Amino acid sequence: MKVLYLINFAGDGGSERYVEKLLRAFHPSQCDCALCYNVDGPLVDKAKAMGVPVFRIAMQSPFDLSAAKALAALCKEQGIDVIHAQYPRENYVAILAKRLFGCRARVVFTAHLIIQQPSVWRVFNRIFTPADHKLIAVCEASADAMRANGMAADKIALVYNGIAADAMPPRDRGALQEFGIGPDETVFISLTRFSEEKGLPFLCESIARLKEKTDQPFRVIIAGAGDLLEEIRGLVQKLNLQDTVVLPGFRKDTDRLLAASDICLNSSSSEAMSFALLEGMACGLPLIATDVGGNRTLVHREGEAGLTPAYGDVEGYSDAMLQLLQDPDLRRKLGEMALQKARGIFSEERSYQDTLAAYAP
């Protein structure tokens, strides 16, 4: 089976990591994979390093007929069996390639975002998505949103994102030395993108409120990059959190940071199924995650792995942080359950097998 992963921006966000993980898992042992993109980014070099063929097609809009024609030609030339589209633009272009230009590949679409689309998009979804082979929802909330947005309900397949997890990894505080974090400080960590939907101003306000509630020493590492990084740096200064919040920017050693931390945070206003939280679970960390989207599934499905305060509730979020800060036994219990779930319902192997099943004729 030949699978073409179709993505507009080949960057380094969650959807790109999703594609990268599938490429590493499937190529070439399960499928002959290829990558097609529009805007260049790190995913292109990663795919090339894996020996995955890479192609570029300009996709100006979801209704770009030139892109659809070029995609149909590429699929015919390469003998593609499945187009795995990552966003609505790519999905529509792939369906147009089938309907107008004779492309015979099955189209599979993954919904990476949980959003309420405008009414005009719900109409288009009713027209276009019956032509999809499968519509992958990464959590129950994603499936609900897809149905509400007019997508073909009979095509929806629930396939959780997965993570590799073995036994409880050893704790190693060595990575904290560069930040001057002491051995008696409890460490919260958020691996995130500095963008609006990640709720980082809300997180900073919650951290400031936690400082008012306790004298117990703690630090918060917020690692990542994005357009709002400098804005958050300014907010940290404004809230007098310079000695509490660490902003190390983009890091390649997130595994070391997780192994050095005690509690994994998510403060998003909207989230499908966070790879950052899954990575925290695979390290046996308890979660504090806003009660949105796939966060509910990760925390509450088949056993409690953390706490889910409401987005925007500074008092509630800081209370959740305080509860885990003060109760190491609860942290340990929730962390053990998080690891158990990472090894079970959210395992990589289960996710990969379910994805391959979605590709099958």
In this structure, are 73 and 209 located in the same domain?
no
- DSSP secondary-structure letter at 163? B
In this structure, are 124 and 219 located in the same domain?
no
Q: Provide the domain limits for residue 191.
A: 173-343
Tens of each residue's pLDDT in the chain, 361 residues: 999 999 999 998 889 999 999 999 999 999 999 999 999 999 999 999 999 999 999 999 999 999 999 999 999 999 999 999 999 999 999 999 999 999 999 999 999 999 899 999 999 999 999 999 999 999 999 999 999 999 999 999 999 999 999 877 788 999 999 999 999 999 999 999 999 999 999 999 999 999 999 999 999 999 999 999 999 999 999 999 999 999 999 998 999 999 999 999 999 999 999 999 999 999 999 999 999 999 999 999 999 999 999 999 999 999 999 999 999 999 999 999 999 999 999 999 999 999 999 999 9
187: domain CATH number is 3.40.50.2000
Question: Which candidate, 359, 338, 361, 360, places its Cα nearest to that of 163?
Answer: 338
In this structure, are 102 and 205 located in the same domain?
no
The two three-digit tokens of residue 274, written as one number = 């966070």
Return d(Cα 105, Cα 128) in angstroms, integer.
Answer: 15
Question: Which candidate, 143, 293, 152, 265, places its Cα nearest to that of 204?
Answer: 265
In this structure, are 268 and 327 located in the same domain?
yes
The CA-based dihedral angle spanning residues 198, 138, 290, 253, taken in that order and rounded to the nearest 10 degrees: -60
Question: Which candidate, 224, 222, 213, 220, places its Cα nearest to that of 185?
Answer: 220
In this structure, are 258 and 293 located in the same domain?
yes
Contact predicate 107/86, CB 8 Å: no
In this structure, are 326 and 296 located in the same domain?
yes
Parallel/antiparallel/unpaired status of strands 156-158 and 245-249: unpaired
Q: What is the pTM of this model?
A: 0.90
In this structure, are 118 and 197 located in the same domain?
no
Parallel/antiparallel/unpaired status of strands 186-191 and 134-137: unpaired
Q: What phi-psi label fits residue 128: left (phi over 0), alpha (psi between -120 and 50 degrees) or beta?
A: alpha
Parallel/antiparallel/unpaired status of strands 134-137 and 54-56: unpaired
Residue labelled with tokens 């942290």: 331
Strands (E), 195-262: 218-223, 245-249
In this structure, are 317 and 191 located in the same domain?
yes
Residue type at 75 in one-letter notation: C
Residue 72 lies in a domain: yes
